[in-house]
Amino acid sequence: MSAATKPLPKSVLISESCLQQRIRELGAQIFADYENQELVLLGVLRGSVLFFADLSRAIFSAQLENITREVQIRFEFVQLTSYHNNTQPSAVELIRSGSNYLKQRHILIVEDIVDTGQTLDFLCEHLWTLNPKTVKVCTLLDKPSKRRVPVPIDYIGFEVPDAFIVGYGLDYAQQYRNLPYIALLEST
């Protein structure tokens, strides 16, 4: 992609400090909900990686303030891809699945953004075939205006408008994932 055609992140939608503050709150809430239990954080590659890293540390920070209690965290990852053609709605495919360890565990899916809900719906259905104890969902961003499949979400960082979003793990053609904030893309 040449520099001339590459769209630029236009405006900051959620600043770095806002993101980090909200992630601290989510970490404290998740810690309180799972205290003294084992929890598998299941990251959805690749968009959730920065959120996953900060959220897992926020859960640990909450634990530091409660030294008699703890949440034992384990990391697992899945990767999905969705594709479109002219005759069918987009289909989702699993290209990397979690380990056998998910059986009889509490699983918290960590997502970057829920848009139509198709990816999450597909992932939840797949996970239930692995006999987990519980499956909950934490997404950094929720775009409810585009929802096609109703999916339960337990923890939401921010609701966002119907616009294409980049940064903090989210890409445009594999670019901008390393922005420390969430931005909108310039269309021209």
Rule CB under 6 A: which residues touch ligand 5GP?
Answer: 47, 82, 112-120, 164-166, 170-171
Nearer to ligand 5GP, 56 or 118 (CB): 118
Q: Which helix (H) or strand (E) holds 32?
A: helix 16-34
Question: How long, in residues, is the chain?
Answer: 188
Query: Which of 115, 121, 162, 171 is the catalytic position?
Result: 115
For residues 150 and 136, is the Cβ–Cβ distance under 8 A?
no
CB of 117 to ligand 5GP, least distance (A): 5
115 belongs to the catalytic site:
yes
The answer to whether 164 and 172 have CB atoms below 8 angstroms apart is yes
Q: Which is nearer to ligand 5GP, 62 or 143 (CB)?
A: 143
What element of type H or E holds 45?
strand 38-45
CB of 35 to ligand 5GP, least distance (A): 29
Q: State the nearest-atom distance from the C-beta of 38 to ligand 5GP, in Å.
A: 26
Asked if 142 and 169 touch (Cβ cutoff 8 Å), the reply is: no
Residue 75 phi/psi, 5° resolution?
-100, 130
**Residue written as tokens 């699983």?**
107
Nearer to ligand 5GP, 62 or 141 (CB): 141
User: Cβ 113 to ligand 5GP, closest distance in Å?
Assistant: 5
How far apart are alpha carbons 141 and 158 in whole angstroms?
5
Nearer to ligand 5GP, 114 or 137 (CB): 114
Which amino acid does the sequence have at 117? Answer: G
Q: What angle do CA 162, 57, 19 make, to 5 degrees?
A: 30
Q: Known catalytic residues?
A: 115
